[in-house]
Amino acid sequence: MQLLPTFDLVLFGGTGDLAMRKLLPAMYWRVTCGQVTPESRIIGAARGELTREDYLAQVRASCETHLGEEFDPKVWDGFAERLSYTKIDATVEEDFAGLAAKLKGREDNVRAFFLSTAPDLFAPICDGLARHKLATSNSRVVLEKPLGHDRASSAEINERVGSIFEERQIFRIDHYLGKETVQNLLALRFGNTLFEPLWRRGRVQHVQITVAEDLGVERRADFYDRTGALRDMVQNHLLQLLCIIAMEPPATSDPDAMRDEKLKVLRALRPLVGRDVLAKAVRGQYKAGAAKGLPVVGYLQEKDVPPDSATETFVALKVEVNSWRWAGVPFYLRTGKRLQERQSEIVMTFEDVPHSIYERPDEAHALNRLVIQLQPEENITLTVLAKSPGEGMRLKPVNLSLDFSQTFKTRSLDAYERLLTDVIKGNLTLFMRRDELDAAWQWIDPIREAWQQYDERPKSYTAGSWGPAAASSLIGRDGFAWRNEL
Ligand code: NAP
């Protein structure tokens, strides 16, 4: 394992949910693996008046909870030595003086400022860093979603952050891109010749991308109600996954080579505007139902949700990519809360054989499928037809499983571990460039505008189902079905 350069990682929002649940356990693992130099520092920053001991106690409790049996008190000691806390209210400029004192004399280290806070604090934090001359040329800034709520607000954030940091220093996270399986999808596509001839119109019948959550809005209701599934999930995670599937092979592994190709996909998306939106985009909102066998309330009954809210908790879309490779191949995207299972997957269904000489299963089960599963497990399977044992030639679908954990028998990195180490190494490949973000918003905004223009209210679906019936019709009209409905 390659040793990381000595770094100072400052976690703004260092007491928040993301830091406690993901970022700090991720850094703990990197320490466990011996990748972090003894001189490196991790500094949590938030408004609370905490001593270092208070903070360490909070982080330890969180690591114990999230790492379970894998928590090792000896590793913890090594991790804790590198950890400290500083009180900063991002809106109070003088508060940055304490951080400046901590970083003084450490200008040669890599500096990473992770902004795990609400986006309205991005600009004040960047201003505070600049005024105290903390944004060195060796610094990077990491921005968590949501990066704005539409194209204009996203441009404003980027403008403000861009006035302090150069584009090469800005790491816009989409943690789906850090998942091991997404890396493996890239390896499968660009490390082998096998799939390339099949990866196109004429061979691929259609593609489905599902990111389903079984949870409701939990304690994010206030934020979620202002955002909705289209902006919270489609604008970033689902479009990024679509880009990884649909992009042309980059010429090199250079970060911009891949980001250029993803940008071309975003720019090639057929715009969804006006009445077309009503035909190709389904909005849904969950009503009372069940989750894991227990009754749950509907979205409108959730705490902090206005009783007349028209925010969508589900979206399904039919998307087309205007390119030689993909013309005529529909991509169906779907995401929602309170669905039957927590499941994220990409399903690429291939065309049927032109002529069959054997008895085959019904069409839905006869087609070859590449299933890239991201949650709850990470794996890739390819469904092929094989002869059923015994007399005669009866074909049955079987899965060729590319189970990486079984093959390599090593622990794979959590997405945030990979992304944080990439930040420290300065590798931008898995982070969104500003023009990508802009192109994504440019495609998303007209969908929401059309919903407003035509007063398209979300269709209700029962919590614990797979979403509104209209989502099944969306794909059913083209003669296909979601994989869970086959
Ligand atoms: P959170 O639990 O509400 O934490 C917010 C953090 O910001 C706390 O540490 C809070 O501490 C700090 N903070 C608030 N106001 C501040 C101020 N004026 N100055 C300095 N620090 C301040 O939120 P979160 O869930 O960790 O999410 C953080 C960001 O990441 C959000 O934008 C969220 O949308 C995004 N995100 C979260 C997740 C996730 O899984 N949680 C996933 C993806 C994206 P004090 O109140 O003590 O200051």
Tens-digit pLDDT profile for residues 8-43: 999 999 999 999 999 999 999 999 999 999 999 999
Asked whether the CA dihedral 14, 18, 21, 26 is positive or negative, the reply is negative
Radius of gyration of the chain (CA): 24
Residue 175 annotated among the catalytic residues of the structure: no
Residue 62 near ligand 1, beta carbon < 6 Å: no
Q: Measured in angstroms, how far is the CA atom of residue 327 from the centroid of ligand 1?
A: 42
Residue 476: helix, strand or coil by DSSP?
Answer: helix
User: What's the token pair of residue 184?
Assistant: 């493996």
Active-site position among 175, 237, 355, 365: 237
The pTM (predicted TM-score) of the whole model is 0.95
Decide yes or no: CATH 3.40.50.150 for domain 7-144.
no
Ramachandran assignment for 13, one of left (phi > 0), alpha (psi -120 to 50 degrees), beta (any other) = left
Select from 299, 305, 261 the least CA-distant residue to 283.
Answer: 299
User: What's the token pair of residue 42?
Assistant: 């991790």
Q: Measured in angstroms, how far is the CA atom of residue 353 from the centroid of ligand 1?
A: 52
Residue 144 near ligand 1, beta carbon < 6 Å: yes
pLDDT of residue 421: 97
Pairing status of strand 343-350 against strand 204-212: antiparallel
Residue 297 near ligand 1, beta carbon < 6 Å: no
Domain boundaries, the chain: 7-144, 177-485
HEC string of 256-283 equals HHHHHHHHHHHHHECCCCCHHHHHHEEE
Residue 157 near ligand 1, beta carbon < 6 Å: no
Residue 25 near ligand 1, beta carbon < 6 Å: no
**Do residues 112 and 7 lie in contact, with contact meaning Cβ atoms separated by under 8 Å?**
yes
Mean pLDDT per 10-residue section of the chain, whose length is 486 residues: 94 96 96 95 97 97 93 93 97 95 95 95 96 95 94 96 97 94 92 96 98 93 95 97 97 95 98 97 98 95 96 98 98 98 97 90 88 91 93 91 78 90 96 97 98 97 98 97 94
Query: What CA–CA distance (Å, rounded) separates 100 from 195?
Result: 52
Residue bearing the CA closest to ligand 1, atom 38:
18
pLDDT of residue 229: 98
Q: Which helix (H) or strand (E) holds 83?
A: strand 83-87
Residue bearing the CA closest to ligand 1, atom 10:
13
Give, in words, the CATH class of 177-485. Answer: alpha beta
Work out which ligand 1 atom sits closest to the CA atom of 15: 9
pLDDT of residue 37: 96
pLDDT of residue 120: 92
Residue 118 near ligand 1, beta carbon < 6 Å: yes
